């Protein structure tokens, strides 16, 4: 009971914003981080001097040794709680639990989480390739030459071998995200695609085609967190943090105990337990979609499908508007944007817009609860957050 009640409903998101995404050459990575911060503060109806907690993540295009302190310096604020979160796609959601705990413990009152990078405009092709090729284990992986897509192709092949998943079912994930992006005027990619288009796109690492792979983007996003007691002091309806969970299984994919079951099992179970909810209670989900097979594994491990059934689940249209589980309604990393480490933060802002009922053409009718999930490394570190319109 103590775990369930520890943070459930005690902290709310009261401000959320995205910058422009895609190719945004007029801003550096730092400029995007600050722009996201200013937008989120305006959305929360507060000034920067009301912020006494700051969380950022480092940027590949413009790194700092002390990134959060550098952004605080740029903003000219002096936070009591100041954290540069570690790199990786799960960072955004795992750090939320720490920030919420800081608020609940009285360390600070108002935390600004702002993250950005400019992978598209701020890196040369050579720099980008170096990042892609330096991820693996220095002894057991890098000498064999795989890049990040090749690691995920290995995971895709394992799922296909074990469960009979087809390339068409992988492609259905990309098509689902694009259909949502077509309703989002801010998405980087909005042109319609079909299964055949995905399969006809350039092969990157068998079986992954170009359209099975997430975008390379500039962009930033930010949220403002405060206590449930203070949440009513802001202009928008608060969105409450109901459950958190993390799961960590390995650092390098060559050391993974399974290629088809991830630590999302543990992160989801812990988040559901704290929230007192289950998969059937979720009105929508944002699932980390750096590559199409990741989505299938995470849907299964988070309890939305039995193992081996996620390919058919997506192909049958259950992740579209009006479906059983509308998913990645902003377009996701495959069609909205993916600026690297900050990528999953766009899932949190989208969930906030959905639960405020502010998502326009892509709005999920009557949305009351949402699950957002991120993963870092090569299916290494997983973090799940459950949100709701009510504090329960």
**Residue 289 is assigned to a structural domain of this protein:** yes
Lowest mean pLDDT among 49-53, 131-135, 207-211, 321-325: 131-135
- Domain tally, the chain: 1
**Residue 160 is assigned to a structural domain of this protein:** no
Residue 29 sits in which domain range?
A: 2-123+215-388
Neighbours of 168 (CB within 10 A): 14
Question: pLDDT (tens digit, 9 = 90+) per residue, 309-325?
Answer: 999 999 999 999 999 99
**Residue 154 is assigned to a structural domain of this protein:** no
Residues carrying an active site annotation: 288, 336
**Residue 282 is assigned to a structural domain of this protein:** yes
Pairing of strands 208-209, 203-205: antiparallel
Residue 14 has pLDDT above 60, yes or no: yes
**Residue 208 is assigned to a structural domain of this protein:** no
Determine the 3-state secondary structure of 192 from DSSP.
coil
What is the rounded CA–CA span in Å between residue 21 and residue 24? 6
Query: Which among 195, 168, 167 has a CA at the least distance from the CA of 179?
Result: 195
Pair 112, 55: CB distance under 8 Å: yes
**Residue 201 is assigned to a structural domain of this protein:** no
Query: Which among 59, 51, 64 has a CA at the least distance from the CA of 33?
Result: 59
Residue 300 has pLDDT above 80, yes or no: yes
Q: Find the CATH number of the domain harbouring 50.
A: 3.40.47.10
DSSP state of 179: H
Question: pLDDT (tens digit, 9 = 90+) per residue, 354-373?
Answer: 999 999 999 999 999 999 99
Residue 388 has pLDDT above 80, yes or no: yes
**Residue 35 is assigned to a structural domain of this protein:** yes
**Residue 336 is assigned to a structural domain of this protein:** yes
DSSP state of 365: T
Q: What is the percentage of the chain residues whose pLDDT exceeds 90?
A: 88
Residue 276 has pLDDT above 90, yes or no: yes
Please compute the mean of the pLDDT values over residues 55-77 and round it to a whole number. 96
Pair 97, 350: CB distance under 8 Å: no
Q: Which residues contact 389 (CB under 8 A, 6 or more apart)?
A: 237, 239, 240, 355, 367, 368, 369
Q: How much is the pTM? A: 0.96
């Amino acid at each position: 009971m103590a775990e369930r009640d520890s943070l459930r409903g005690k902290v709310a998101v009261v401000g959320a914003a995205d910058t422009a995404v895609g190719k945004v050459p007029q801003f550096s990575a730092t400029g995007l981080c600050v722009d996201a911060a200013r937008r989120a503060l305006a959305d929360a109806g507060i000034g920067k001097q009301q912020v006494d907690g700051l969380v950022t993540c480092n940027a590949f295009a413009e790194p700092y040794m002390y990134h959060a302190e550098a952004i605080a310096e740029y903003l000219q604020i002096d936070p009591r709680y100041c954290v540069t979160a570690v790199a990786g796609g799960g960072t955004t959601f795992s750090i939320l639990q720490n920030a919420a705990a800081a608020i609940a413990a009285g360390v600070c009152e108002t935390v600004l989480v702002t993250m950005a990078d400019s992978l598209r405009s701020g890196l040369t092709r050579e720099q980008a390739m170096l990042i892609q090729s330096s991820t693996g284990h220095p002894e057991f992986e890098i000498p064999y030459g795989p890049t990040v897509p090749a690691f995920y192709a290995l995971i895709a092949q394992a799922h296909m071998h074990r469960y009979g998943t087809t390339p068409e079912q992988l492609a259905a994930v990309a098509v689902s995200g694009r259909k949502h992006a077509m309703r989002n005027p801010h998405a980087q990619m909005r042109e319609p695609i079909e299964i055949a288009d995905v399969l006809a796109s350039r092969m990157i690492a068998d079986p992954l085609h170009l359209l099975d792979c997430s975008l390379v983007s500039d962009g930033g996003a930010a949220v403002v967190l405060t206590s449930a007691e203070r949440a009513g002091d802001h202009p928008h309806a608060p969105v409450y943090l109901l459950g958190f969970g993390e799961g960590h299984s390995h650092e390098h994919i060559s050391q993974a105990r399974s290629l088809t079951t991830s630590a999302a099992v543990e992160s989801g179970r812990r988040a559901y337990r704290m929230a007192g909810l289950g998969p059937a209670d979720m009105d929508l989900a944002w699932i980390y979609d750096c590559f199409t097979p990741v989505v299938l594994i995470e849907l299964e491990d988070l309890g939305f499908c039995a193992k081996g059934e996620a390919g058919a689940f997506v192909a049958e249209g259950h992740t579209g508007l009006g479906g059983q589980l509308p998913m990645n309604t902003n377009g996701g990393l495959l069609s909205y944007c993916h600026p690297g480490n900050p990528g999953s933060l766009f899932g949190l802002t989208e969930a906030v817009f959905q639960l405020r009922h502010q998502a326009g053409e892509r709005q999920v009718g009557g949305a009351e609860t949402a699950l957002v999930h991120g993963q870092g490394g090569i299916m290494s570190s997983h973090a799940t957050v459950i949100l709701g319109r009510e504090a329960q």
